[in-house]
Copies of this chain bind each other. A is one copy, B any other.
Amino acid sequence: MYSLEEIQNLIDKAIENLEIYREPKELYEPVHYVFKTGGKRLRPVLTLMSCNLFSNNVDEAVIPSLGLEIFHNFTLLHDDIMDEAALRRNHLTVHKKWDQNVAILSGDVMAILAYEYITSCREEILVDVIRVFNKTARQVCEGQQYDMNFERVLNVTAQEYLKMIEMKTSVLLAGCMHIGALIGGADSKNAELLYKFGHDVGMAYQLQDDLLDTYGNTEVFGKEIGGDIVANKKTFLLIKALEKADEKQQIEIHHLLKRLEDNPKKKIRVMKKIFDGLGIQELTKRLASHYYISALKNLNKVRVPEERKIQLKQLADTLLTREK
C-alpha cells in the first residue's frame, strides 16, 4: 500500500514529467499555467487510493488520474470566466492573465486532453471507464448551470442546493473513486460502492466548506471569515436559515441581504446570530456527519481486507475535520 505522501509524490512527479508544451504555444501555455500551478490534487489522490485498494501497482492509474485533474481544472477555468473571477489559488485567472478567448479555447483543449488521459487505461475496462466519465462530465456541467441559475432565483430550497453541489462537486469525486477502482481491477459491485463513498465524502466536504466560511477559525482558515455572508452567497446555511426562519426572522434576513457594503462586520455578526438562533451550524454539521457516516458504511461493504481501507478512512477524516 502507498501512503498519502507517496501517492502525492507520484502525482507531483507525473505532473512534472507531463509534456504539455505543444504547438501552438498560445494554446498550451495557459494549460501548463493552470495545470502546473497547484491545487490540492484531491481528484488524482482519490483515484490512486481507490486503485490501490485493489491493486499494489497504481502506475496504470496515474495518467487517467491526471485526466480527472485536468478535467477539474478545465471546469474551474471556464467557471472563472463565467464568474468574472480575477484570482484562483492566488494566481491571476487565465482570462485575466491572457484574455477571454484564450481562456475559452485553452479550456476546450483541456477537456479533450482529459479524455485523452482518461481513455489511456487498458482496453478491457475502457467501455466502463468512458461510461462513468461521460456521465460524470455531463453532470458537472449541469451542476454549474444549476449554480448559475441560483444566482437569478430568490428561493432555492435545501433540496435544490444539495442537488447542485452533488452535480458540481460530488459526482466528480465519485467518478474518480469509481474509475480508480476499475483500473485497480475491482468488480462492478465494489466499484459502485466506492462511487457512493466518493459521492458522500463530496457532499460532506462541500457542507464543511460552507461551515468553515462562517464558523472557521480565521487564523487557521487563512482568509477572513464571513465572506459568504457579506457576498449574500446562497450557501446551505443561508438557505436553511430562510427555510426555518419565522416571519420576523425572514424580514431580518432579507433586510441584511439588502445591506451590501456599509458595515460588513456587523452584517456577519447579525447574520451569525440569526443562524445561531435557528441552530443552523448544528443542523449543517449533522447533515455533513450523515454523509460522512454513509460514506464509511459504503467503504465498509467493499470486499477487501480491512487494513487496506485505513488510508482512505484517514483521508476522509482529514477532509471532514479540516479547518481550512
Q: Which residue numbers of A lie inside 8 Å of B, CB to CB?
A: 22-24, 26-27, 75, 78, 81-82, 101, 104-105, 107-109, 111-113, 115-116, 119, 123, 126-127, 130, 134, 137-138, 141-142, 144-146, 148-149
Contacts and interface: CB of A to CB of B under 8 A. Distances in A.
A141 B127 contact: no
Nearest to A78: B104
A38 to B, nearest CB: 23
Contact of A116 (B107, B108, B138): B138
Contact of A112 (B109, B113, B119, B134): B134
Contacts of A22: 142
Contact of A141 (B78, B105, B115): B105
29 contacts: A24-B145, A24-B149, A26-B145, A26-B148, A26-B149, A27-B145, A75-B108, A78-B104, A78-B105, A78-B108, A81-B101, A82-B104, A105-B144, A107-B108, A108-B108, A108-B141, A109-B138, A109-B142, A111-B111, A111-B112, A112-B137, A112-B141, A113-B138, A115-B130, A115-B134, A115-B137, A116-B138, A119-B130, A123-B127
A116 B115 CA distance: 11
Contacts of A104: 78, 81-82, 104
Contacts of A119: 130, 134
A111 to B, nearest CB: 6
B24 A109 contact: no
B126 A101 contact: no
Give this chain's copy count. Answer: 2
Contacts of A105: 78, 82, 141, 144-145, 148
Contacts of A126: 123, 126-127, 130
A129 to B, nearest CB: 10
Nearest to A113: B138
Nearest to A22: B142
Shortest 6 CB-CB distances between A and B: which pairs? Answer: A27-B145, A109-B141, A82-B101, A116-B134, A112-B137, A24-B145
A15 B23 CA distance: 36
